[in-house]
Structure 1
Amino acid sequence: MNSIFKTSVSLLTAASVLGFAILPAQAQQRFFARDTVLVSPEGDILDYIPDDGSVRVMRDNRGRTVYVDGWGNIVATAMQADRYFARGDDYRPRRDRYREMRGYPEANPDYFPPAPEADYGDELTTSSVPEMREGLPGDIERQPLPDADFGGSQALPDFSGDSAALPENGTDPDAEFVPGPKFDPAIAIGKMSSAEITALQVFLDREGFSPGVIDGKKGSNVTKAIEAWQQATGETLDPNNADDILERLRLSGGLAFTTYEITAADAAGPYVAAIPDDYAQKAALPHLSFTSTTEMLAEKFHMDEAYLKEINPGVDFTIPGTIIKVVDTGERKTGKVAKILADKGRKQVLAYDENGTLIAAYPASIGSADTPSPSGTVTVERIALNPGYTYNPKINFQQGNNNKVLTLQPGPNGPVGTVWIALSKPTYGIHGTPEPSKIGKTQSHGCIRLTNWDATELAKMTSAGVTVEFVD
């Protein structure tokens, strides 16, 4: 079975064809300077260094340092940081996510806007991911939500792998230290192909132990998911045993990859051309929906958008009837959650049933050094799916020149994504995000941030009154 994962393209052959020169080992160790960033072919900064043997460092025919994978594809190009962050007026808000957000002054780190005041009771409202289109445009009861994670500071990547999100000890210095649960360490992931890692990620996702975005790459989110799954099942999962993973996939619904036919509804949207930074411009949009078919499909199948394009080279995703390759995440996790642990140290949310059994786990961004998440125990007060957002300059931070109350429409690219789970501590909540690839790798402004699909799954297993405990 391992043979299905093997690539027929030689890396050395690809290097020869593309005009690359492989750097000597010593040069590879020296080339990456502190003032250098890795830029993907799409123009985004990588928040990790792919140095785990899955890529090789080379020089292209223009003398640039590039990372190339086993198929000969360029993963990233090294670029001087000052050049990347000073690209003149070529400002593209959906592309330049790590640049300073224009019009966003620094917010008071001690201030959080109020949580929603509507009484949702135990019932969920509006639609869910990925069928959010069905809830648009006008039949949604919109309530004010906090500006959970968007302030004026720019988020720069930490090239150590997963960027640190919390203070040195992971807690508010004035708060009582509450240790989180201890899990047995997972078996280290060895040299695996992208398809093998994808199979592992899909299995974990089906089990309710989310690896975050499915991207065919190993990392701490995958390791955390394995450890939580082992804790819940009492079994040991060897991620390097491809045959075992394939058999587990077969029993849980079939192979990791499947096909999907793009429908007319997929191509139609609704979509928006871009998501502006200015809240007045956001408020003018009919919805904060996806910006493209690929962004929508990636979220629908829990995938990284770049990975979706990578496994479908040359495909036009806007043409109905097109058959594409996607992953099969199966049925969403079901159950009734009685307790939630927000583990700041692990950057993971753990969900337990009434018997104290761990039934689900999700990578999370929880707090930051400037705006730490709370400590102690709170409760879930209300849950809203596909929520709107109200900006009030007298309550929120001052955003640009906006001095009037603004109502932002719902959508997956809204400030809190497609889910808001309000907590009993005012201004705090569990919510989604418009940037799922950053979950577990960057910081939040005090709240608990999950991918939209993970937040939706958790919301549908949770009800008002469920306890949420913050541990370190």
Structure 2
Amino acid sequence: MNSIFKTSLSILFAASALAFAAAPAGAQQHQLARDTVLVTPQGDILDYVPDDGSVRWMRDGRGRTVLVDSWGDIVATAMPADRYFARGDDYRPRRDRYRQVRGYPETNPDYFPPAPGSDYGDDVTTGSVPEMREALPGDIERQSLPDAEFGGSQPLPGVSGGSEEMASLPQDGATDPNAEFVPGPKFAPAVAIGKMSSNEITALQVFLDREGFSPGVIDGRKGSNVAKAIEAWQNATGETLDPNNAEDILERLRLSGGMAFTTYEISAADAAGPYVAEIPADYAQKAALPHMSFTSTTEMLAEKFHMDEAYLKEINPGVDFTIPGTIVKVVDIGEKKTGKVAKILADKGRRQVLAYDAEGTLIAAYPASIGSADTPSPSGIVTVERVALNPGYTYNPKINFKQGANDKILTLQPGPNGPVGTVWIALSKPTYGIHGTPDPSKIGKTQSHGCIRLTNWDATELAKMTSPGVTVEFVD
């Protein structure tokens, strides 16, 4: 390790010296401190600094020295070498791994289950996307969100450059008078949740999340999303779940992978980002961003572990999430749900999406925001046309409605804070789809603009079990 460390530093300093020696007069100069390395957003040591003027040294909002490219993306962050290499300590955890941690009473062999794998596989990226500014396959053209209260979007027809002959939502907000009323499935009501501690409710939410019956954001609070998840789970399994029986819930957690809480070490890449300072409301300002990434480490971690951001901070009082090597308490979401979906029910009355396999077995359920009185979702049966992971977004003021003073077509880069989040599942009904959201805490509690809106992690899970041709039925 020492030889690798010295070699990396030698290459780095040599490349840095060449780069700045070649810089023209007046160019910004910078000298790295001794025993300092440059860490890329992927957690690797940067061993080459371009000498073509395409990068520059800056200070970020937390006072760290960063190397930034011409697009404003962070190429690398300066970091003490002993922190990066954990010099003098054999304890060298790897990124995206659960691990035993010193200082916690739960550090026993049974407490730490195997790593569940990243929420977003190799084919889906969110916050750190190197080629974010390049056109991606599957980009979709959509209209803007006129009312920030809803936090969603109403997609426009087809792929970028598609035909404008496709219909948009009715302007008067009225439902189709000829649409047939299709009642949704009836589930046995869940046992009412009594007086429970926040940790007990979290354990219940984690169990349901692992089972594929999502409670939405995990926040340690009871609510309608939890009750709906219990009802769907009971329908799928034929069992009765008493949410007030804490011992039963803990036993079920043990059998499904371990206790509800675990710990996670913030890596150099986690701390480096790249992040954006804020997500503006104006679409012209959104279009100027290099990517619609997360705004902070806490927002990224909350989504990674399906948690409410405020709850993540609450259970980690006084913790600085920006420092690599920091140990934080998170929930253990376990293995992601797998299977093959043959039919999707979008239950407007329950505000829930139900996924069935070819045998008609309910295999997953997700809280959803589906339509509104002003912009209703359709009724009847449609099909999945295509699935786009990490899609771009095109705002077109000529279709349906106009945001503020924006009167030109605008292209927004992909990212979890984009209007449709990290997923777009296009439906055969023009302008409608199933998609993610930048506001996961609002799912199931507010309305959408006609589409089906899920949390980013639920939309990603559903997308990976869905393929073109799957039927989607809207029921009331």
Please report how far the alpha carbon of residue 140 of structure 1 lies from its aligned counterpart in structure 2 after TM superposition: 2.7
- Alignment correspondent of 1:313: 317
Where do residues 350-369 of structure 1 align in structure 2 (5 Å cutoff)? Answer: 350-369=354-373
Deviation per CA, 1:120-171: give whole Å up to 9, x if none. xxxx9984266764664536336233237x2137459xxxxxxxxxxxxx97
- Say if 2:217 is the partner of 1:213: yes
User: CA, structure 1 residues 361+322, in 2 after alignment: closer, same or farther (shift >3 Å)?
Assistant: same
- In structure 2, the partner of 1:282 is 286
Q: What is the Cα deviation at residue 469 of structure 1? A: 0.3
Stretches of structure 2 lacking an aligned partner (at least 5 in a row): 1-119, 152-173
Aligned position for 2:252: 248
CA contact (8 A) 1:126 1:384 kept: no
- Aligned match for 1:393, one of 387, 391, 397: 397
Residue among 147, 172, 177 paired with 2:143: 147
| Contact 1:132–1:386 under 8 Å retained in 2 | no
Give the secondary structure class of the aligned counterpart of 2:317. coil
Aligned to 1:466: 470
Q: Summarize deviations over 1:259-289 as a string: whole Å, max 9, x none.
A: 0000111111111000111111111100000
Residue type of the partner of 2:289?
L
Q: Which has the larger radius of gyration?
A: 2
How many angstroms apart in 2 are the aligned matches of 1:269 and 1:131? 7
Partner secondary structure for residue 394 of structure 2: strand
For 2:219 and 2:226, locate their aligned partners in 1 and report how far apart those are by CA, in whole Å: 11
Which whole-Å deviations, capped at 9, do the CAs of 1:2-44 have from their partners, x for residues lacking one? xxxxxxxxxxxxxxxxxxxxxxxxxxxxxxxxxxxxxxxxxxx
Residues in 1 aligned to 2:122 and 2:388: alpha-carbon distance in whole angstroms:
7
Confirm or deny: 8 A CA contact 2:219 2:308 kept in the other structure: yes
2:428 aligned partner: 424
Is residue 176 of structure 1 aligned with residue 180 of structure 2? Answer: yes
Give the AA of the match of 2:462: L
Contact 1:230–1:236 at 8 Å: present in 2 too? yes
Q: Give the unaligned 5+ runs of structure 1.
A: 1-123, 157-169
Counterpart of 2:241, as a letter, is L
Q: CA deviation at 1:397?
A: 2.2
CA shift for structure 1 position 198: 0.1
Distance (Å, rounded) in 2 between the aligned partners of 1:464 and 1:125: 20
**Paired residues for 1:121-136 under 5 Å:** 127-128=123-124, 133=129, 136=132
Is the CA contact (8 Å cut-off) linking 2:126 and 2:390 kept in structure 1? Answer: no
Q: Specify the code of the residue in structure 2 equivalent to 1:263.
A: S
Shift of 1:443: 0.5
Partners of 2:276 and 2:335 lie apart in 1 by: 29
Runs of 4+ in 1 over 3 A off after TM superposition: 124-127, 129-139, 152-156, 170-174
2:436 pairs with 1:440: no
The answer to whether the aligner puts 1:228 opposite 2:232 as a matched pair is: yes
Give the aligned partner of residue 260 of structure 1: 264
Aligned-partner residue type, residue 409 of structure 1: Q
**In the comparison of the two structures, how many residue pairs are matched?**
335
State whether residues 171 and 177 of structure 1, in contact with CA within 8 Å, keep that contact through their aligned partners in structure 2: no
Aligned to 2:23: none
Pairing 1:159-198 to 2, within 5 Å after superposition: 174-198=178-202
Number of the residue aligned with 2:169: none
Q: Which amino acid in structure 2 is aligned with residue 428 of structure 1?
A: Y
Cα distance in 2, alignment partners of residues 137 and 192 from structure 1:
47
> Does the CA contact (< 8 Å) of 2:287 and 2:410 recur in 1?
yes
3-state secondary structure, aligned to 1:381: strand
For residues 336-358 of structure 1, the C-alpha deviation after alignment (integer angstroms, 9 at most, x for no partner) is: 00000000000000000000000
Paired AA for residue 141 in structure 1: P
The answer as to whether partners of 2:372 and 2:447 remain within 8 angstroms in 1 is yes
Which moved further from structure 2: 137-146 or 447-456?
Answer: 137-146
SS of structure 2 residue aligned to 1:349: strand
Amino acid at match of 1:138: E
Change (3 A) 1:349 1:129: farther
Give, in whole Å, the separation in 1 of the partners of 2:301 and 2:355. Answer: 27
Change (3 A) 1:248 1:131: farther
Q: Tell me, in whole angstroms, the C-alpha distance in 2 between the residues paired with 1:125 and 1:244.
A: 33
The alpha carbon displacement at 1:223 in A equals: 0.3
Distance 1:147 1:132, change over 3 A: farther
Deviation at 1:405, TM superposition (A): 1.9
Q: 1:139 to 1:319 in 2, by over 3 A?
A: farther
The code of the aligned residue for 2:361 comes to: T
- TM-score, normalization by structure 1: 0.68
Which of 333, 340, 351 lines up with 2:337 in the alignment?
Answer: 333
TM-score by length of 2: 0.68
Q: What is the DSSP-based 3-state SS (H/G/I as helix, E as strand, rest coil) of the residue aligned with 1:145?
A: strand
Residue pair 1:126, 1:386 contacting (<8 A) in 2 also: no
Closer/same/farther in 2, CA of residues 125 and 176 from structure 1, 3 Å limit: farther
Rounded Cα–Cα distance in structure 2 between residues aligned with 1:172 and 1:258: 49
Amino acid at match of 1:378: V
Identity of aligned residues (%): 82
